[in-house]
Amino acid sequence: NTQIQYNDSFANDTLNVLGRAFLGQYRYDNPMVYSGERTLSTGPGDWHGAELRLLSTAFADHKLMLGAEYHNNTRIKQTFENFDNPNQNIAIHSSVVRAGVYIQDEWRITDTLSATLGLRYDYSKWINNQLSPRGALIWQATPKTTLKALYGRAHRSPNAYERDYNDGIFRVNNPGLNAETIDTAELVADYRPLHDMNLRAVVYAWDTYNPIVSAIDPISGLGQYQQANKVKARGAEFSFDKSWDWDARLRGSFGIQGAEHDGSHLTNSPYHLGKLNISIPIPLMTGLRAGYELQYYGKRKTLDGTHTDNYFLSNLNVVTDVRWVKGLEASLSFYNLFNEHYQQPTDANWQSSLLQPGRTIRLRMDYRF
């Protein structure tokens, strides 16, 4: 990726102008052997674009942002070559242009109350028109308590593989795919009993419309990406974050969630999730730091309707700067420290779940220059 950017302020610093132009390319090569036959899959891509953003504080208590973005994927190519059976060779060419404009206003209503309203419009020949509104209301109820109400909509366009890939053997294309969208609503309460401690509670509701999923084409009987019915998620999360002057930090969270599709709980979606993380410097050893993480996963539904067991995972990491080589950092990590035997659901397999690795030890060296 290459980018050139311009950023400057005008009108007594009440108007900020940001402009950027970019271009990039992606190269993918995957040589494989299927049933003794040598194959090569490639996926080169090239793109360029530009963005202009204006940010104004000329109006009292308002921060107004206007912007426009242009993105041109000039080449999207997918190939499959079978060296031993050339009649299976394919080459798929496509391109797409996307343009978007957006506006947002941050309005400070009072010293303790502020609101944000925004709207984005996107267009591409693959998904036509998409409107994405967003809004937030933030109230500083007390010096230590902040309450937030948040809403937003986002979308994801199908990628070239989901939309266009067609080998006639395993998968067929679906040029009629549209974007999948999600509406999110959240209520957030933050409380800081101490300057170095934060407690947070969140309740949320997410609705995903037209999610893109892997399915079976009823005509050919081959795999095909299609739009599914709405997926909805409801949940709550509680978290805390505490740090100390001696450079230690303790963080934790626990979430309760329910995700449903067609009235049934979503597969591979845990009912409960928890995490505890502590990071401390090791006394009397300069530059040495240890981190311990405890993860909890609740039961998850599998494709055949059964559930995996809940389990705990422990990870330990020790990291240090190697002082005698500038820029060198070493770490020793223990994953699944207590060798927990656990399984995860599969997305598409004759097995409903797969056993996961036991205790794993990794020594890593990073050098930055």
End-to-end CA distance of the chain: 20
Judged by average pLDDT, the poorest of 4-18, 133-147, 219-233, 280-294 is 280-294
Per-residue confidence (pLDDT) for residue 329, from 0 to 100: 84
- The pLDDT score that the predictor gives to residue 178 is 94
What percentage of the chain exceeds 70 in pLDDT?
A: 98
Strands (DSSP E) contained in 83-211 are 90-108, 113-124, 128-142, 145-156, 180-194, 197-209
pLDDT given at position 288: 86
pLDDT at residue 283 tops 90 = no
Rounded Cα distance between 190 and 197, Å, is 10
- Give pLDDT, residue 41: 94
Tens digit of each residue's pLDDT (9 = 90 or more) over 89-119: 999 999 999 999 999 999 999 999 999 999 9
Of 64-78, 187-201, 323-337, the least confident: 323-337
pTM, full prediction: 0.85
The pLDDT value given to residue 106: 97
Tell me the C-alpha distance between 353 and 346, whole Å.
5
- The percent of residues above 90 in pLDDT, for the chain, comes to 83
* pLDDT score for 253: 98
**Are residues 331 and 322 in contact, defined by beta-carbon separation less than 8 angstroms?**
no
pLDDT of residue 317: 95
Question: Is the pLDDT confidence value at 50 over 80?
Answer: yes
Contact partners, residue 161, CB within 8 Å, separation at least 6: 43, 78
Q: Among 198-207, 312-321, 349-358, which is the least confidently predicted range?
A: 349-358
Q: Hey, is 343 helix, strand or coil?
A: strand
Return mean pLDDT, the chain. 94
pLDDT band at 6 (very low <50, low <70, confident <90, very high): very high
Residue 95: closest CA among 45, 32, 166: 45
Per residue in 63-95, pLDDT (tens digit) is 999 999 999 999 999 999 999 999 999 999 999
